[in-house]
Amino acid sequence: MSTVLEAKDLCKTYIVNKKQNNVLKNVNLKIEEGEMVAIMGPSGSGKSTLLYSISGMDRPTAGQVLFEGKQMDKLSDNELSDLRLTKMGFIFQQMYMMRNLSILDNVILPGIKAKQKGVTKKEIEERGRSLLHKFDVAQIADNDTSEASGGQLQRACIARSMINDPKIIFADEPTGALNRSASDEVMEELAKLNREDTTILLVTHDVKVAAKCSRLLFIVDGNIKAEYNLGRYEANSNLRDRERNLSNWLMEQGW
């Protein structure tokens, strides 16, 4: 497997009321192509800050982030924006969708903004409908965003994250606003994507979510304290065993 994303001695510092807050402290990690990696840790440990810093949504204070071997901190704001749009997909806890657009139009908007050479709007729309069908929400394509459940909207957000065929998907608590049933449905869709070799890096506080990942990074006080390899979650995997083993390991780490 080739390395998609790598962080070297990554630091992120905020100044609040003239006080220095070192949120990330010399973080090192590698994400290999085809992995599904979860980041877990106590509240305030730096999980989301790490996700934002390595995805180009925020710039680190020090250290390097390499995406497909390219040093992201050397890119201009416009180059970084283009990289996020064309090579990365994003899913958040809150389903950020424009209320004045239909669900389909929200899904295809990044594809239209990417302006890929030789790709027509009709082709982008066809891909958007195909993705909504893939994630079993084709029936809400022409609905307003208020005319869908939370689980349906999040699956539409997964479709949106895939519209430009990204190399990696970043997800920040993608099931945090969902009930258990909808959470399970969304995670099954992400697991299917991973089995199709889509690389996924997500932040979660939910052991049931992390158990469907292939590897877990445990972060404490801005440092990756330990990692746990679960192996790829297959359709016939014993999920209860994965959850139990992961829970025991997390307790050993002081979770």
The vertex-208 CA angle with 202 and 213, nearest 5°, equals: 45
pLDDT value of residue 93? 85
Quick one: how far is CA 182 from the chain centroid? 17
Q: What is the pLDDT of residues 193-246, one digit of tens each?
A: 999 999 999 999 999 999 999 999 999 999 999 999 999 998 778 899 999 999
CA-based torsion, 167, 172, 174, 180: positive or negative: positive
Residue range of the domain that includes 78: 3-252
The tokens of 13 are what?
A: 């510092």
Q: What Cα–Cα distance (Å) separates residue 21 from each residue in 13, 14, 68, 160, 186?
A: 5, 5, 30, 35, 35
Q: What is the pLDDT of residues 13-67, one digit of tens each?
A: 988 887 888 899 999 999 999 999 999 999 889 999 999 999 999 999 999 999 9
Indicate the number of domains in the chain.
1
Q: What is the CATH number of the domain that holds 128?
A: 3.40.50.300
CA separation for the pair 65, 28 (Å, rounded)? 9
Q: What Cα–Cα distance (Å) separates residue 69 from each residue in 2, 23, 66, 224?
A: 10, 25, 5, 22
Residue 94 has pLDDT above 90, yes or no: no
Q: What is the pLDDT of residues 66-90, one digit of tens each?
A: 999 999 989 999 999 999 999 999 9
Residue 96 has pLDDT above 80, yes or no: yes
Q: What is the pLDDT of residues 110-163, one digit of tens each?
A: 999 997 777 899 999 999 999 999 999 999 999 999 999 999 999 999 999 999
